[in-house]
Structure 1
């Protein structure tokens, strides 16, 4: 057994496709399949359900996959720890961010990149539940997510402030006379919304229901760029974070504040506490804390 076989196994889980897993690992598909069969022979277990395509992992495969992730995380942690002992941070910092976060993650990425030129960055748009799950499985080093119901025994958190909301609209199709808009006025508009179940959508639904309002969305999607396309086409308006920068993303877009509008829970930077700890995550978390304290960001 070698570490590459474990990387092949994890890549197959993340892509759910033999060809894509092989491309990610920079090998041919026959090579990847042969090495995985070699791992199965060595362990005496059937790990992958195959036909003409990938169909999933066997129960035994799921258990071995969990060990593979732990071993790969330990290897990555070993190299990162050695570099840290030399006063360096190297490798890839994996950061999960909830959709429509009211905090620009590039503030942190830019800080880390300036201080540690050898670092690379991987950003993933994920739900709050997915971020916690991937932190638990060592698939992320840090997360930017909502702090509601966060288990403080297993995660450290750094509040990034309240996410205030505004209405993003295209001035070519919609115009509002005041400096802000009320929820009551917003409920009469064709609205584009993220899919139900996402925290940002839940905050919008709560604000509307608490005022006795129940508008039917004109457009629902799990992708922010689809909302932006709908807004630019004049199909809808959409509630967005005020500090997202989306109001400056195009000349014809405007982000108008909504009266008394913020998400149900504050946003925060999250670090897993359980061993094995991410050296990169730990170091960057500490630097983020120092930066946020220095600029007196809201808590």
Structure 2
């Protein structure tokens, strides 16, 4: 058994396709398949269900896969720890971000890059549940997510402030003249919103229901860029965080505050507690903690 076989196994889980897993690992598909069969023979277990294409993992394969992830995370941690002992911080920080986060993730990435110039970054757009799962399985180093359902015993967090909402619209199609809008006014406007299972959408639905209102939902999607394109085309307006890096600062779009509009929970930076502890996550979390403390003193 070697570390490459474990990387092949994890790549297959993430892509769910033999060819894509081979391409990700920079080997041919026959090589990847052969090495996985050698791993199965060495362990005496069938790990992968095969037909004409990938059909999933066996129950035993799922258990081995969890160990493979832990070993790969330990290898990453070992290399990062060795670099830290040399006075360096190198590697790739994996950051999960919820759609329409009320805190621009680029603020954090820029902060981390300033403190640790050798770092690279991977950003993943995920739901709150997927971020918690990814942190728990060591697939992510940090998460930018909502804090309402966070288990504080297993996860540390830095609260980043309240997420307030505004209406994104095109003045060419919706000539609002006021400086803010009420939920009653929003109920008459065609809206493009995130899919109903997402946290930001749940906060919007709650605000309408609490006032006995029903929104005019013209478009639903799980892709933020589709919302902004629909707004630009005049198909609808959309409810967005007032502070966010998700929507472009297009000159023809405006963001108007909504009265008494905020998400059901604050936004926060999250990291997993306990071993194996990522030096990258620890260093970047500490940098964010210092940055927040400094800005709190400035206010």
Alignment TM-score > 0.5, same fold: yes
Preserved CA contact (<8 Å) 1:160 1:297: no
1:198-217 aligned at under 5 Å gives the runs 198-217=198-217
Match of 1:71 in 2: 71
CA RMSD for the aligned pairs? 1.4
1:298 Cα deviation after fit: 10
User: Take 2:297 and 2:98, find their aligned partners in 1: how far apart are those partners?
Assistant: 20
Gaps of 5+ in 1: none
Match of 1:262 in 2: 262
Preserved CA contact (<8 Å) 1:48 1:58: yes
User: Take 2:291 and 2:230, find their aligned partners in 1: how far apart are those partners?
Assistant: 37
Q: For this pair of structures, how many residues does the alignment match?
A: 299
User: Take 1:173 and 1:48, find their aligned partners in 2: how far apart are those partners?
Assistant: 54
Cα deviation 1:96-128 (Å, max 9, x = unaligned): 000000101111111111221211100000000
Q: Does 1:4 align with 2:4?
A: yes
1:248 Cα deviation after fit: 5.4
Change in Cα spacing, 1:246 to 1:136, as seen in structure 2 (3 Å) is closer
1:261 Cα deviation after fit: 0.4
1:118-157 aligned at under 5 Å gives the runs 118-157=118-157
Gaps of 5+ in 2: none
Change in Cα spacing, 1:62 to 1:28, as seen in structure 2 (3 Å) is same
Cα deviation 1:63-106 (Å, max 9, x = unaligned): 00000000000110111111111121111000000000010111
Q: Which runs of 4+ in 1 moved over 3 A?
A: 245-248
1:83-162 aligned at under 5 Å gives the runs 83-162=83-162
Match of 2:240 in 1: 240
TM-score between both structures, scaled by the size of structure 1: 0.97
1:247 Cα deviation after fit: 6.5
User: Take 1:274 and 1:44, find their aligned partners in 2: how far apart are those partners?
Assistant: 32
Preserved CA contact (<8 Å) 2:48 2:58: yes
Match of 1:35 in 2: 35
1:144 Cα deviation after fit: 0.4
Cα deviation 1:263-294 (Å, max 9, x = unaligned): 00000000100211111101110010001111
Match of 1:163 in 2: 163
Cα deviation 1:129-179 (Å, max 9, x = unaligned): 000000000000000000102111100000000011000011221111111
Preserved CA contact (<8 Å) 1:166 1:255: yes
Change in Cα spacing, 1:89 to 1:160, as seen in structure 2 (3 Å) is same
Q: Does 1:292 align with 2:285?
A: no
1:52-71 aligned at under 5 Å gives the runs 52-71=52-71
User: Take 2:232 and 2:208, find their aligned partners in 1: how far apart are those partners?
Assistant: 24
1:296 Cα deviation after fit: 2.2
